[in-house]
């Protein structure tokens, strides 16, 4: 088998949660370029539809659906719809997430729970229902979006986010162990500070987080497309002996 054959995703269907914008949109694009059919789910379904239209090649083979990862009924019914109408899910990317930069002492329980509901409960629910379908069809691969904040506390106050991403890192190992016998591989990508339309202004000179670049050995932000190669690797047969791992892509931030 050639290296190209190891990496290609032709004939595979990939579900990307929260893929209407940012990192999820970029990962969905990379998977589509490797040959996968993409289904983006998002609470912002119109933005998801626009993201699908921008994909190449063959945007008509990709689809967008509304799904709320914190709502068990929404997750279960959407995944059932995907498996019935589109022939199953080979690849799941648990990308939907949220962050609140707020000191712990100023954070309400509701704010804490909002972060946990999206970043932890959402990964649990989506993985659970997708894995059940994968078991019935002979396996698959799940990619969770963790963070370098799964391992460090960062320089700013965001305890809820860091705790939630630490949970994603651990859930990745737990799911991988539980489902290895079912031929389901589970891994995670842990990005560092990434440049998106939403984050770019706060990292510019004078911005709220401009100082963090002093801690990045490569002295720049990551670009969303720099996650695509890892996503394709983890989704493909190139990583057939890889499970339970979290891959940090942070420009060296966690070296310190």
- Active site residue ranges: 161
For 68-98, give the DSSP string: -TT-HHHHHHHHHHHHHHH---SEEEE----
- Helices 122-137 and 72-86 pack at an angle, to 10 degrees, of 30
In contact, 20 and 40? CB cutoff 8 Å: yes
- Helices 109-116 and 159-179 pack at an angle, to 10 degrees, of 30
Residues 224, 226, 232, 237: is their CA dihedral positive or negative?
A: negative
Nearest-10 Cα torsion for 18, 20, 23, 29: 120
List phi, psi (to 5°) of 42. -165, 155
Helix/strand/coil for 42: strand
Instruction: Tabulate helix, strand, coil % of the chain (nearest 5).
Output: 50, 15, 35
Q: How far apart are CA 37 and CA 62, in angstroms?
A: 6
What does the buried/exposed string (b/e) look like for 238-253 if buried means 16 or more CB atoms within 10 Å of the residue's CB? bbeeebebbbbbbbeb
In contact, 186 and 144? CB cutoff 8 Å: yes
């Amino acid at each position: 088998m050639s290296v190209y054959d190891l990496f290609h995703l032709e004939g595979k269907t990939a579900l990307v949660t929260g893929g209407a914008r940012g990192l999820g949109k970029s990962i969905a694009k990379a998977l589509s370029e490797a040959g996968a059919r993409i289904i983006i789910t998002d609470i912002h379904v119109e933005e998801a539809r626009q993201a699908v239209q921008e994909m190449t090649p063959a945007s008509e083979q990709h689809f967008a659906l509304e799904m709320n990862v914190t709502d068990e009924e929404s997750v279960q019914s959407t995944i059932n719809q995907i498996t019935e109408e589109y022939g199953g899910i080979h690849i799941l990317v648990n990308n939907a997430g949220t962050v609140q930069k707020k000191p712990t002492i100023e954070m309400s329980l509701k704010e804490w729970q909002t972060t946990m509901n999206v970043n932890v409960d959402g990964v649990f629910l989506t993985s659970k229902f997708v894995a059940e379908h994968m078991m019935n069809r002979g396996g698959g691969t799940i990619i969770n979006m963790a963070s370098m904040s799964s391992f460090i506390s960062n320089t700013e106050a965001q305890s809820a986010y860091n705790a939630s991403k630490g949970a994603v890192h651990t859930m990745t190992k737990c799911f991988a162990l539980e489902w290895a016998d079912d031929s389901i591989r589970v891994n995670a990508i842990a990005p560092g500070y990434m440049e998106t339309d939403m984050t770019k202004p706060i990292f510019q000179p004078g911005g709220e987080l401009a100082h963090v670049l002093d801690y990045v050995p490569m002295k720049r932000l990551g670009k969303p497309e720099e996650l695509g190669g890892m996503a394709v690797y983890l989704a493909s047969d190139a990583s057939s002996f890889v499970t339970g791992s979290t891959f940090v892509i942070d420009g060296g931030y966690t070296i310190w």
